[in-house]
Structure 1
């Protein structure tokens, strides 16, 4: 009985020692798990911050894209308007150039060759002036 009791006590001590070793291992494992859990929580917080930053960044990009698109539409409209204005100015310049050619032709026709051409162009007004001077002279001296 004493030998059996000694065997039971030895088994109990082994069981207590193995249980104590297992509890210590479980404590180490639990502590390691808690450390990993704290790290995961910290990393999750960092990921949430990065996600917020990405959302903000994406919203800023969308806003910038909208602004650039609007600016490009306004630029296209301004370019179209400017092109129409340039076309209008070119048409006016062509019209003015044609009018200038017409005026130059008229000047060439009117300029002729010296006094003979001048007298030929202005014969009627010169005769009228001479008659008016003659009539004035008659009235003054007559």
Structure 2
């Protein structure tokens, strides 16, 4: 079990939003040795800054309003307690959230056709 599955979905809208808005430029990306897309330090900084903003957004979790960073903290602690046998049951309730964006037709086609596949998965940084 990794935390990528329940929370990795937070990275995709950040990367897609940066690409769509034009904040990410071609010079922010590299191709790695195995031909996967990666990020140069400039691109990494942009993604990290925007992701930090995302972590401060509010989300409804267990009937309360929290921020993403706190929900992730709770889940990491819960996973640690499970791994150290302090807690038997692991409860990965998905927080309720909405992604506030409207994709253009072109962006939807790029996503459906896989043009951005792997960008958020391979966020390899050189800094």
| Shorter-normalised TM range | under 0.3
Q: Greater relative contact order: 1 or 2 (C-alpha under 8 angstroms, separation 6 or more)? A: 2
Structure with bigger strand share is: 2
Larger Rg over CA atoms: 1
Identify the structure with the greater helix proportion: 1
* TM-score, with structure 1 as normaliser: 0.21
